[in-house]
Amino acid sequence: MDADILKTAENWVAEGRRIALATVVDTWGSAPRPTGSHLVIDADGNFEGSVSGGCVEGEVISEAIDVIESGVPKMLEFGVADETAWRVGLSCGGKIRVFVDQVN
């Protein structure tokens, strides 16, 4: 699946879309997607792939749009110790770190 996501990213860049790639770089405990999972996002909020589930992906998409606009990569962390754990849907004991960077 992730090879398809990278191909989608390549195609979107070739189409002239401004995009970011989100990658799961670390997990702990219960995490819905393994390390190395990808989500590609364009400047309009279109996306393909998965880095988690539920509200986490909504937050990653929002942050990715900021990364596309600013050109500054971000390391995002979601987990039970985070005050937003319940809000983003990681209430079952997991923790993930997602790196988001613009792709040219």
The C-alpha atoms of residue 22 and residue 14 are separated, in whole angstroms, by 19
53 close to 100: Cβ distance less than 8 angstroms = no
Pair 56, 96: CB distance under 8 Å:
yes
Return d(Cα 21, Cα 63) in angstroms, integer. 11
Q: Which residues of the chain have pLDDT under 70?
A: 1-2, 80-93
> Which pLDDT does position 52 carry in this prediction?
86
Report pTM: 0.85
